[in-house]
Amino acid sequence: MKTVRNIVIIVIVVALLIFSVLTPYNLVKTKQSNISDSLKLLNAQIEQRAELLDGLSAYLDPQLEIEQEIKGIISDINNQTRSASTISEKADANKEVSSVVNGIINYSNSNTDKRRKDFVDELVKLRDMQVRVNTAKNDYNTLIDSYISETQRFPLNVVVKFVKTDDFEYFMTAEELQEHNKR
């Protein structure tokens, strides 16, 4: 009877040990997966925005020199976005695209013939996509903040030391990252 009780105690202790190791491990892996999924969504939205910018070019008036300059800027900025390979390069390109998008919207608000409904409709889609890109960027960076914060505390800090974990890069320009690190 005493042997059965000892075996039951040993089984319970082993089960608790396994559970105490697997739970934090699964939590770390889930957080890593969430960050990766968030980055995929952000990249997809950046590509959709680039496609909207390409489509907007078709509505620009070839007779107006300023609109031809805008078309060239759109082409250049989309090339920069699509050729970016690292997260920091993508963040730099994103900042440039955001500036260009805001400039196009401001130009449209002050100079566009309101009868060009298709152009205005495309601008509305572009503005909405810009909001989605910024939201996805903020969500991604927030997930990284949460991951870093939580993996520095027990028991996740122990798991991180013994298990290969991913290093995640913030989706920020160098200036934004420097400002972020001051906080």
Instruction: Map out the domains of the chain as residue ranges.
Output: 31-182
Check whether 85 has a pLDDT greater than 60.
Answer: yes
Q: From 1.25.40.10, 3.40.50.10260, 3.40.50.170, 1.20.1440.20, which CATH number describes the 31-182 domain?
A: 1.20.1440.20
- What integer pLDDT is reported at residue 143 of this predicted model? 96
DSSP annotation of 169: -
Q: For the chain, what is the mean pLDDT?
A: 87
Mean pLDDT of 2-29: 80
Check whether 176 has a pLDDT greater than 60.
Answer: yes
**What are the counts of helices (DSSP H) followed by strands (DSSP E) for the chain?**
6, 0
- What integer pLDDT is reported at residue 134 of this predicted model? 95
Q: 4 exposed, middle or buried (CB, 10 Å; 0-12, 13-18, 19+)?
A: exposed
- What integer pLDDT is reported at residue 115 of this predicted model? 53
